[in-house]
Structure 1
Amino acid sequence: MARGSSGIVAALTAAAVAAVGFLAYQASANVPDDLGARPKASSSAPAPGGSARPKPKKNPLAVPAASGTGPRVVYALSDRRVWLVDAQNKSTRTFKVMPSAVSALPGTYRVTSRSGRVTGSDGVPIEHVVRFASNDDVAIGFSAAQDGSMESPDPTLKAGGVRMSRADGDAVWTFATVGAKVVVVP
């Protein structure tokens, strides 16, 4: 080998090692979090005669099965999520919400009234209020704070506003006119 070629070989080797290292880093950055993860220990024993199967993960975009049919607004209390569902039972939009201290009971309701802009019972200026139920003499409805906030409600206030972003509030306002079906699920 020529005298200067050992430096070139060393430089090429270093470049190759760096390229392989970079590609390995890129590959590891794109691996799903659960790939190769060990199953977590379960406190429950497998069913007799069978093996324990992991529960399938719930798709947050899927409309709850027990929410009826046809065009409707679906509000899942435990998920703090709303779906706008079209006549073909397909979700056209879904989003997270912040419920207030007083919630509607599970059941089917109709939009009873709407207000463009008012002050909420918590003193916050709100818009696109869509009322559909009452519980303990508190009106329950969807709304968006005009400043876009979705803070946790004061548990001492008897308020029934289900807060959402302004964009989501616009979508509910357009979708849920007076008489529109609202289904509340646990």
Structure 2
Amino acid sequence: MAGTSSGIVAGLTAVALGAVGFLAFQAQATVPASLGGRAGASASPSTTATGTPGSDPGSTALPGGSGTGERVVYSLGANRVWLVDRRNQLERTFKVAPGTVDPLPGMYWVTSRSSAITGTDGVPIEHVVRFTEVDGLAVGFSAAVSSPVRPAGDPNVRTGGIRETRVDGEAMWDFATIGVRVMVIR
């Protein structure tokens, strides 16, 4: 009986490892070649129709080299977000105000969400969509409940909150559910 149990466990383990390997292969196969590094790794800026991302902060065109399929694209240089659907069609773009701590360029996924909390700067925020951490500080998109897009409070306070208007925050909340990809570009 003990031999049968260990055989079953070994078989289930092999099946589980095979499934994990297959899912890892699928995930890697969907990563554009220019983004093949690990999440959070530095990536060289990709070019767009208007040059490098952020070279024309007034441009609302979706930057080239920002991946394909459903994703949130966040440009550090342009302080702009693009919400792109599964058909690679732009749903919305808007300006944001970065926190005092930026994520590194790379590929991330939405890992958690909160409908309403208080930000690290003491400001009540809503529609919080988190996608990474930097030195233990959560980084994500949020909207201040009672103030404009610019972060309030002490600029010396470390915050990973990328602030958007309440209307844009609601659009982000509806779009960026757990597991949606977030591409951070320069």
Tell me if both proteins adopt one fold, taking TM over 0.5 as the criterion: yes
Gaps of 5+ in 2: 1-49
Structure number with bigger Rg: 1
The offset of 1:99, in angstroms, is: 0.2
Q: How do 1:144-155 residues align onto structure 2 when only pairs under 5 Å count?
A: 144-152=143-151, 154-155=154-155
- Matched AA of 1:159: T
Measure how far apart 1:155 and its partner are.
3.3
Distance between the aligned counterparts of 2:100 and 2:81, measured in 1? 17
Normalised to the residue count of structure 1, the TM-score between the two structures is: 0.67
**Correspondence 1:19-38 to 2 at 5 A:** none
Alignment of 1:114-125 (within 5 A): 114-125=113-124
Partner of 1:138: 137
- TM-score normalised to the size of structure 2? 0.67
1:87 corresponds to = 86
Give the SS at the match of 1:66.
Answer: coil
Equivalent-residue separation in structure 1 for 2:117 and 2:159 (angstroms): 14
Q: Tell me how many residue pairs correspond in the alignment.
A: 132
Aligned 8 A contact 2:141 2:161 in 1: yes
> What corresponds to 1:182 in structure 2?
182
**Number of the residue aligned with 1:69:** 68
TM-superposition CA deviations, 1:62-116 (whole Å, max 9, x none): 1111111000000000000000001121211000000010011100000000000
The CA distance in 2 between the partners of 1:146 and 1:139, in whole Å, is 19
SS of equivalent residue, structure 1 residue 134: strand
Give, in whole Å, the separation in 2 of the partners of 1:121 and 1:96: 21
| TM-aligned CA deviation for residue 137 of structure 1 | 1.4
CA RMSD of aligned residues (A): 1.8
How big is the shift at 1:167? Answer: 0.3
* Aligned equivalents of 2:168, 2:184: Cα separation in 1: 18
